[in-house]
Amino acid sequence: MLHCLNSNASGSEMTVLERQRATIKWQHNNNHHQGYSSSSSPSPSSSSSISLVQVQSSSPACLAAGAWPKLDNNFLMGFTSSPSSGFPLPPPPPPTTSAASFDLNSAISRTSSCPLPSLAEGKETTTPNNKRKTDKFHNTKVVASDNDNKDKRVKVAAPNDSATVGKKGTQDCGDNSNKDNSKVSEVQNQKPDYIHVRARRGQATDSHSLAERVRREKISERMKFLQDLVPGCNKITGKAGMLDEIINYVQSLQRQVEFLSMKLAAVNPRLDFNMDDLFTREVFPACAASFPAIEMSPNMANPASYLHFNSSQQIDAGINPQDISLRRTISAPVSAPETFLDSSCFTQTLPSSTWEGDFQNLYSVAFDQARAASFPSQLFTGLLEPSNLKMEMEM
Partner 1 sequence: MEGQAAKRRRVYSIEPKKVVEEAVFTRNYMNYLVPALMKIKAGKRSSHCCEIQNVVKHEVDMAMVFSAQGFAWSNALKANLQRYQNEHSSSSGGPIITSNNPSNSSSKSIKYVNKDIKGEEYEDGFINNNNNNNNNNSKLRCLRRLIPGGEDMCNEQMVEELESYISCLKMQVNVLQYLADKNC
* Interface of this chain with partner 1, residues 334 to 393, rule: CB under 8 A: 346, 349-350, 353
330 binds partner 1 (CB under 8 A): no
222 binds partner 1 (CB under 8 A): yes
68 binds partner 1 (CB under 8 A): no
Evaluate whether 79 touches 125 at the Cβ level (below 8 Å): yes
| DSSP characters over 143-177 | ----TTTT--EEEEBPPSSGGGTTTTHHHHHHHHT
**Distances from the Cα of 268 to the Cα of 44, 263, 273, 288, angstroms:** 60, 8, 10, 20
Q: Which DSSP state fits 188?
A: -
Least distance from C-beta 131 to partner 1, angstroms?
21
The Cα 340–Cα 342 span in angstroms is: 5
77 binds partner 1 (CB under 8 A): no
The Cα 148–Cα 107 span in angstroms is: 28
Indicate which single residue of 24, 61, 243, 300 sits in contact with partner 1 (rule: CB under 8 A). Answer: 243
Dihedral angle at the C-alpha atoms of 201, 204, 210, 215, nearest 10 degrees? -100
Nearer to partner 1, 124 or 245 (CB): 245
The Cα 39–Cα 33 span in angstroms is: 10
The Cα 183–Cα 220 span in angstroms is: 11
Nearer to partner 1, 22 or 197 (CB): 197
Nearer to partner 1, 24 or 260 (CB): 260
156: CB partners within 8 A, 6+ apart: 117, 119, 140, 141, 168, 186, 187, 188, 189, 192, 195, 196
Q: Which DSSP state fits 231?
A: T
Q: Which of 55, 194, 172 is nearest to 122 (CA)?
A: 172
Nearer to partner 1, 22 or 156 (CB): 156
310 binds partner 1 (CB under 8 A): no
Least distance from C-beta 247 to partner 1, angstroms?
5
Nearer to partner 1, 18 or 394 (CB): 394
The Cα 368–Cα 374 span in angstroms is: 12
Indicate which single residue of 148, 161, 193, 244 sits in contact with partner 1 (rule: CB under 8 A). Answer: 244
Q: Which of 11, 148, 20, 149 is nearest to 78 (CA)?
A: 20
Segment contacting partner 1 by CB under 8 A, of 23-31, 37-45, 256-264, 307-315: 256-264
x-marked contacts with partner 1 along 260-299 as a string, rule CB under 8 A: xxxxxxxxxxxxxx--x--xx-xxxxxxxx----------
| DSSP characters over 243-292 | HHHHHHHHHHHHHHHHHHHHHHHHTGGG---TTHHHHHH------TTHHH
Evaluate whether 347 touches 323 at the Cβ level (below 8 Å): yes
Nearer to partner 1, 244 or 368 (CB): 244
Segment contacting partner 1 by CB under 8 A, of 30-38, 97-105, 250-258, 307-315: 250-258
State the sign of the Cα–Cα–Cα–Cα dihedral 180, 183, 188, 193: positive
Indicate which single residue of 20, 209, 364, 377 sits in contact with partner 1 (rule: CB under 8 A). Answer: 209
195 binds partner 1 (CB under 8 A): no
Indicate which single residue of 94, 218, 307, 311 sits in contact with partner 1 (rule: CB under 8 A). Answer: 218
Segment contacting partner 1 by CB under 8 A, of 65-73, 178-186, 222-230, 315-323: 222-230
Indicate which single residue of 16, 67, 195, 246 sits in contact with partner 1 (rule: CB under 8 A). Answer: 246
Least distance from C-beta 205 to partner 1, angstroms?
13
Q: Would you tell me which residues interact with partner 1 (CB under 8 A)?
A: 209, 212-213, 215-216, 218-219, 222-223, 225-226, 229-230, 239-240, 243-244, 246-247, 249-251, 253-254, 256-258, 260-273, 276, 279-280, 282-289, 346, 349-350, 353
